[in-house]
C-alpha cells in the first residue's frame, strides 16, 4: 500500500511538470485529486488493512495527499498568472499613468524666461564649477575685498600657478555676465538662470544650494530709468498689476551705483505685516549700473557703452509667489510638498 501511494505521488508530480495550460491542469487535477480520482480510489483500500497498519498508512496517505495538493495549487497560480499576462482585454480602461509636473522654482523660472525673451533677451547658462577669476575678480571683487566674506563658498582642491585655490562652486550666476560679454560683445541683452552654492547656515530663509536669475543689458546711453522700467514689468508679471517697485541705494561691488529692489508685499499688499516686517515692502533683488571694471573685464569699452544688471533669488520668488514658508523644502525631494504645485 505504501509503495502504491509513493508511485501515485511520483506519477502525479511528473505529469504536473508536463502541463502547459490551465485546461490540461484541470483535467490532471480531476484525475488525481477529484472525488473519484485515483488518490481517492486508492485510499478506499485502507479499510481492508489491519488496524495498526491502517493507522501508519493513513498518516502517510494524508502527508502525500497534502504534498500533492500544495504542489498542484502552486502550479495553478503560476499557470493563471501566465494566462493573464497573455490575455489583454482591450475593452478594459487603461492604467492611469502618474505624470510629473514642474518644480515650483522651474515654474517661476519659465515665467521669467518667457517675459524676458519677449523683450529680446537671450537665455544663457554657465558652468556651476567656476574659476575664482570669473566668480570674483572679473566682477570687481579682488582677493582682499570684504565682499568675499559675504559669499563664503565651497572651494575645490585645485591650485593655480601661484599655489592658490582656483576653482569654486559658483556663489552667484554673475560669472555668466562676463562670459556673455566676452562671447557676444555689446550691445547685449541676456538673462542667466541657474543653481548656486554658498557655505550658509541653513534655516527657513537660507540654504547652501539655491537658484538665482541674473540679467544684463548693455548698449549706448543705458541708464537707471531703463532698468526700473523693466524691473517694474517683472513685478507686475509675477505678483499682479497692482505691484509697485521701490528702489533704494545699496552697495554691490559689481555695479555703481547699486540699488535694492523692493516690491509691494504680496501678503498684505502694502499695509504692513510680519512677512514684510510691517514696512509694506519685500526686498527681492539687487541691481544697478554695471561697474566700468566689469565692462573692461568683459572686453567692452565703458566710455562707449553702459549697462544695468539685476539678480533675483529664484527660490525666494517662488516662496513669495506660492506662500512657501521654508526654503529648505525646495531641495527636500518630498513629493507631499512638490505635488501641491
- Summarize pLDDT for 114-144 with one digit per residue, the tens: 999 999 999 999 998 888 889 888 988 877 7
- Contact assessment for residue 265 and residue 280, using Cβ atoms and an 8 Å cutoff: yes
Q: 175-210 as b/e, with b when 16 or more CB fall inside 10 Å?
A: bbbbbbbeeeebebbbbbbbbbbbeeeeeeeebbbb
Nine-digit cell string for 338: 512638490
- Cα separation, 14 vs 34, whole angstroms: 18
Which residues are within 8 A (CB) of 13 and not within 5 positions of it... i.e. 6 or more apart?
Answer: 68, 71
* Parallel/antiparallel/unpaired status of strands 255-264 and 165-169: unpaired
Greater pLDDT, 35 or 191: 191
pLDDT of residue 54: 67
Which architecture does CATH list for 104-338?
Answer: 2-Layer Sandwich (3.30)
- What is the chain's length? 341
What are the DSSP E strand ranges found in the chain? Answer: 122-123, 129-131, 155-159, 165-169, 188-197, 209-219, 245-249, 255-264, 281-290, 306-313
Query: pTM of the entire structure?
Result: 0.64
- Summarize pLDDT for 228-254 with one digit per residue, the tens: 999 998 888 888 888 889 888 988 888
Greater pLDDT, 144 or 261: 261
Q: How confident is the model at residue 163 (pLDDT cuts 50, 70, 90)?
A: low
- The SS3 assignment for 217 reads strand
- Summarize pLDDT for 80-119 with one digit per residue, the tens: 777 766 667 778 787 777 777 788 888 889 999 999 999 9
Domain coordinates in residue numbering, the chain: 2-86, 104-338
Amino acid at each position: 500500500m505504501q509503495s502504491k501511494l509513493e508511485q501515485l505521488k511520483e506519477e502525479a508530480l511528473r505529469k504536473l511538470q508536463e502541463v502547459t495550460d490551465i485546461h490540461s491542469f484541470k483535467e490532471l487535477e480531476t484525475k488525481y485529486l477529484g472525488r473519484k480520482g485515483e488518490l481517492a480510489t486508492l485510499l478506499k483500500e485502507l479499510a481492508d488493512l489491519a488496524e495498526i497498519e491502517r493507522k501508519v498508512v493513513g498518516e502517510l496517505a494524508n502527508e502525500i495527499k497534502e504534498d500533492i495538493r500544495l504542489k498542484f495549487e502552486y502550479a495553478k497560480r503560476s499557470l493563471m498568472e501566465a494566462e493573464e499576462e497573455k490575455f489583454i482585454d482591450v475593452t478594459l480602461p487603461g492604467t492611469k499613468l502618474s505624470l510629473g509636473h514642474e518644480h515650483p522654482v522651474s515654474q517661476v523660472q519659465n515665467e521669467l524666461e518667457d517675459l524676458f525673451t519677449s523683450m529680446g533677451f537671450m537665455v544663457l547658462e554657465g558652468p556651476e564649477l567656476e574659476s575664482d577669476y570669473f566668480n570674483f575678480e572679473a566682477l570687481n571683487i579682488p582677493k582682499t575685498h570684504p565682499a568675499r566674506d559675504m559669499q563664503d563658498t565651497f572651494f575645490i582642491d585645485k591650485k593655480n600657478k601661484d599655489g592658490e585655490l582656483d576653482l569654486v562652486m559658483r556663489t552667484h550666476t554673475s560669472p555668466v555676465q562676463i562670459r556673455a560679454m566676452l562671447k557676444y560683445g555689446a550691445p547685449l541683452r541676456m538673462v542667466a538662470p541657474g543653481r548656486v552654492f554658498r557655505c550658509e547656515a541653513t534655516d527657513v530663509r537660507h540654504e547652501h544650494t539655491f537658484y538665482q536669475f541674473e540679467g544684463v543689458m548693455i548698449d549706448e546711453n543705458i541708464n537707471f530709468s531703463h532698468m526700473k522700467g523693466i524691473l517694474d514689468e517683472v513685478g507686475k508679471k509675477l505678483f499682479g498689476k497692482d505691484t509697485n517697485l521701490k528702489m533704494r541705494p545699496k552697495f554691490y561691488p559689481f555695479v555703481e551705483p547699486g540699488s535694492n529692489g523692493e516690491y509691494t508685499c504680496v501678503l498684505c499688499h502694502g499695509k504692513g505685516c510680519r512677512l514684510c516686517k510691517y514696512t509694506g515692502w519685500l526686498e527681492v533683488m539687487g541691481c544697478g549700473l554695471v561697474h566700468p571694471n566689469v565692462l573692461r573685464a568683459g572686453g567692452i569699452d565703458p566710455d562707449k557703452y553702459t549697462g544695468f544688471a539685476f539678480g533675483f533669488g529664484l527660490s525666494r520668488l517662488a516662496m513669495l509667489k506660492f506662500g512657501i514658508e521654508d526654503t529648505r523644502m525646495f531641495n527636500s525631494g518630498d513629493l507631499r510638498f512638490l505635488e501641491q504645485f
